[in-house]
Amino acid sequence: MNKKGVSDMILFFGFLFTASVMLVFIFGGVKLFYNNTYDFKSVESADLLVKVKECVSVKGDEIFAESFSINECGLNEEVLKKDHLIVISRDEKQFIFGVYDYQTRCLFEAEAENLPECAFGSQNGYEIITASSQDSRRIIR
């Protein structure tokens, strides 16, 4: 192979590189567009607020007992301890379950993918905050 052959070969690999980069951008753009999930966090935190209100209206101050479990409200502890928060407070007493950090994040007015959506409400003098940051997960099967 003489020098002319070598330069042709280099050009070929240059083209291959350019084509690969273009493909990555095209594929990445399409994947970003179609793979986008829709934000369900605010809906979920609102539904959770309704459930917690129902529980508070039945259980009242029992919620602040040390032995109280969120299962007694008909809610699943294992699911709620990840990506969710429940705060119930009245006077000086408070019940908190879930991701404690969300209390602070609920105060941010900004919207971002990693910020939870919070719902605020009250029932019979109890102040309630619920938050959700759950998104769907892709599984391989």
Amino acid at 78: E
Cβ closest to another protein, residue 14 vs residue 101: 14
Q: Is the dihedral of CA 108, 113, 115, 118 positive or negative?
A: positive
The residue range among 72-80, 89-97, 103-111, 121-129 that interacts with another protein, by the rule CB under 8 A, is: 72-80
Q: Residues 6 or more apart from 66 whose CB is under 8 A from it?
A: none
Q: What is the residue whose two structure tokens read 């605010």?
A: 42
Binding residues for another protein restricted to 11-40, rule: CB under 8 A:
12, 15-16, 19-20, 23, 26-27, 30-31, 33-38, 40
Cβ distance 3 to 11 under 8 Å?
Answer: no
Residues in contact with another protein by CB under 8 A are 1-6, 8-9, 12, 15-16, 19-20, 23, 26-27, 30-31, 33-38, 40, 43-44, 47-48, 50-51, 71, 74-76, 78-80, 84, 134, 136-141
